């Protein structure tokens, strides 16, 4: 049995009154748990003591007077899961209990992804601090948002020297406010028009303050390999950790080439580049339809035909929102084409044309990946799990990603051991984001914890029922406070904004 040395409650200034008879909810002993500590894939039996917002002891522990005692009865106790690529923050004001997250065991989300954040990020941090939720939130500074703030609607070009200096000033302020680093969405407007030199200069700003770089790379399909090389080059030249967002091979021509991607990443790591990736366990993505047109040539039939033939078939493009016609939601491009008596190429072009006339876009769930590639990427030792999800969308990943990994890749296919999966959801995630004292069960770490049944934990969300709640999680604590038990949120909001290490 593994036994951690004591970190005494008295040493933390958290002593309680001797002889107290009423259970103290801030002093908790979880007994007889199977502990997955977030760093070692080995699972071991033991007890864990919480005092206030921290873990203070691990081992074989006796109850102390007045503390709340929980018998884990052989359930697995793990660090709270960390969603390193999340869009849930946009819905936290409506979903303060974060039920879709905590029911899976997620206790921390990382927002500001795909180059999209608030300007300045200090304002978002202040708002979230003033109105906390059930989960912790950390933020990246979004390149696209900064670029739009400086260049306005005249963004379809490279930034001038003066404009780049202004963007760097905004990024510097975000970093000082506590952003983890710089995020980019180089397939999206306005980031798609940025040169590599521009992104590199901004990455250097982040690196100068001990930050990181995370990227929805310039292409996840046609130009995947060049985009991957760009990510690696930024890490090498700017000398900062870089992470590939929601890794995928989203083009049929590349299916079966996950080993090729992994080989490039391994070579970069061997060359000293701290490159990693996050990934969600689904073969379909969710985004705007226009993202598949890198030249924005929406009236080009040849481009549209290529997209439907190589990126996502008409029956694999499910409309999740349409600013021009809400009746399209829940239908595929193939179904809409059939209703109109038109071919799919004509239909997909018309959908874009109509939405753009309304100043909007068409949002789709696109099936573009191969399950075998996903499995190989998940198994890569420097891969951590994410959702790329949100609360109010048709994609099931927002309510199911972490539970699905534990159901499918651990229990059913045995791609990962339980301990390996927990590491990819906790300790490795914290390492990739630069989070301190999170993602671990050890004395001194924050008491973000999930207690779950590995034999029953499961996702239930589908595109037909995207908000179906995961099951199998017994209890979840965030900063030592119980936020979820018996299938329900407790209605307390102990979540905090997590700033980059060294920023108060």
Question: Residue for token digits 């999930």?
Answer: 450
Question: E strands of 166-252, at which residues?
Answer: 181-185, 212-216, 242-244
Alpha-carbon span 175 to 424, nearest angstrom = 26
pLDDT digits (tens, 9 = 90+) for 455-467: 999 999 999 999 9
Helix count and strand count (H, E) for the chain: 14, 22
Residue 15 has pLDDT above 60, yes or no: no
CB 310 within 8 A of CB 369: no
Answer with the residue of higher pLDDT: 120 or 9: 120
pLDDT for 25? 74
Question: What does the radius of gyration of the chain's CA atoms come to, in whole angstroms?
Answer: 23
pLDDT for 303? 97
86, 121, 178, 226 from 369: Cα distances, Å: 20, 34, 35, 19
pLDDT for 10? 32
Please provide the average confidence, as pLDDT, over all residues in the chain: 94
Residues in a beta bridge with 78: 450
Alpha-carbon span 10 to 57, nearest angstrom = 12
Which whole number is the average pLDDT over 313-330? 95
pLDDT digits (tens, 9 = 90+) for 209-245: 999 999 999 999 999 999 999 999 999 999 999 999 9
pLDDT for 20? 38
CB 51 within 8 A of CB 73: no
pLDDT for 2? 38
Task: Assign 74 a pLDDT band (cuts: 50, 70, 90).
Answer: confident
Which whole number is the average pLDDT over 389-397? 96
CA nearest to 108, candidates 132, 80, 129: 80
Alpha-carbon span 250 to 269, nearest angstrom = 23
pTM score, whole prediction: 0.94
pLDDT for 421? 98
Alpha-carbon span 433 to 108, nearest angstrom = 11
Residues 6+ apart with CB under 8 A from 341: none
pLDDT digits (tens, 9 = 90+) for 409-420: 999 999 999 999
Q: What percent of the chain has pLDDT over 90?
A: 94
Which whole number is the average pLDDT over 438-454? 98
Q: Could you give the domains of the chain?
A: 81-285+368-431 (3.20.20.140), 286-367 (no CATH)
pLDDT for 6? 32
* Burial group, residue 66, by CB count within 10 angstroms (0-12, 13-18, 19+): middle
pLDDT digits (tens, 9 = 90+) for 334-363: 999 999 999 999 999 999 999 999 899 999
pLDDT for 378? 98
Answer with the residue of higher pLDDT: 440 or 15: 440
CA nearest to 273, candidates 315, 244, 312, 308: 244
Alpha-carbon span 472 to 458, nearest angstrom = 6
DSSP 53-99: TEEEEEES----TTEEEEE-TT-EEEEPEEESS--GGGGTTT-TT-H
pLDDT for 26? 81
Residue 325 has pLDDT above 70, yes or no: yes
Which whole number is the average pLDDT over 435-442? 98
pLDDT digits (tens, 9 = 90+) for 259-313: 999 999 999 999 999 999 999 999 999 999 999 999 999 999 999 999 999 999 9
Task: Assign 24 a pLDDT band (cuts: 50, 70, 90).
Answer: low
Residue 11 has pLDDT above 70, yes or no: no
């Amino acid at each position: 049995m593994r036994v951690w040395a004591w970190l005494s409650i008295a040493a933390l200034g958290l002593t309680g009154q001797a002889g107290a008879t009423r259970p103290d909810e801030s002093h908790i002993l979880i007994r007889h748990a199977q502990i997955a500590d977030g760093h070692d894939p080995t699972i071991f039996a033991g007890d864990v003591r919480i005092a206030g917002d921290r873990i203070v002891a691990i081992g074989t522990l006796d109850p102390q007077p007045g503390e709340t005692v929980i018998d884990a009865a052989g359930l697995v106790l793990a660090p709270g899961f960390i969603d390193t690529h999340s869009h849930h923050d946009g819905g936290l004001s409506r979903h303060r209990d974060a039920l879709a997250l905590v029911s899976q065991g997620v206790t921390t989300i990382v927002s500001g992804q795909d180059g999209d954040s608030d300007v300045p990020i200090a304002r978002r941090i202040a708002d979230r601090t003033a109105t906390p939720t059930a989960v912790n939130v950390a933020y990246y500074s979004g390149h696209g948002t900064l670029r739009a703030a400086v260049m306005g609607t005249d963004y379809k070009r490279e930034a001038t020297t003066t404009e780049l200096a202004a963007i760097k000033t905004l990024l510097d302020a975000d970093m000082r406010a506590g952003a983890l680093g710089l995020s980019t969405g180089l397939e999206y407007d306005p980031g798609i028009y940025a040169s590599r030199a521009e992104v590199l200069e901004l990455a250097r700003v982040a690196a100068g303050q001990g930050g990181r770089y995370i990227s929805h790379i310039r292409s996840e399909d046609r130009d995947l390999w060049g985009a991957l090389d760009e990510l690696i080059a930024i890490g090498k030249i700017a000398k900062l950790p870089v992470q590939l967002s929601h890794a995928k091979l989203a083009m049929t021509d590349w299916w079966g080439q996950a080993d090729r991607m992994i080989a490039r990443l391994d070579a970069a790591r061997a060359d000293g580049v701290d490159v990693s990736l996050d990934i969600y366990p689904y073969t379909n993505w969710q985004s705007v339809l226009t993202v598949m047109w890198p030249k924005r040539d929406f009236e080009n039939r040849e481009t549209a035909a290529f997209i439907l033939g190589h990126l996502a078939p008409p029956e694999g493009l499910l409309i999740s929102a349409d600013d021009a016609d809400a009746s399209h939601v829940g239908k595929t491009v193939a179904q809409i084409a059939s209703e109109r008596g038109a071919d799919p190429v004509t239909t997909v072009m018309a959908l874009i044309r109509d939405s753009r006339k309304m100043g909007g876009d068409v949002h789709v769930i696109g099936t573009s990946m191969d399950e075998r590639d996903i499995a190989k990427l998940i198994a890569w030792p420097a891969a951590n799990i994410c959702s790329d999800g949100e609360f109010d969308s048709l994609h099931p990943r927002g309510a199911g990603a972490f539970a699905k990994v534990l159901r499918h890749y651990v229990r059913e296919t045995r791609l990962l051991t339980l301990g390996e999966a927990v590491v990819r959801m906790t300790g490795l995630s914290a390492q990739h984001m630069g989070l301190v004292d999170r993602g671990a069960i050890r004395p001194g770490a924050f008491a973000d914890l999930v207690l779950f049944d590995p034999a029953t934990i499961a996702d239930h969300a589908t595109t037909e029922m995207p908000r179906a709640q995961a099951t199998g999680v017994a209890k979840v604590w965030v900063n030592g406070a119980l936020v979820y038990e018996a299938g329900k949120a407790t209605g307390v909001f102990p979540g905090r904004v997590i700033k980059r290490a060294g920023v108060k």
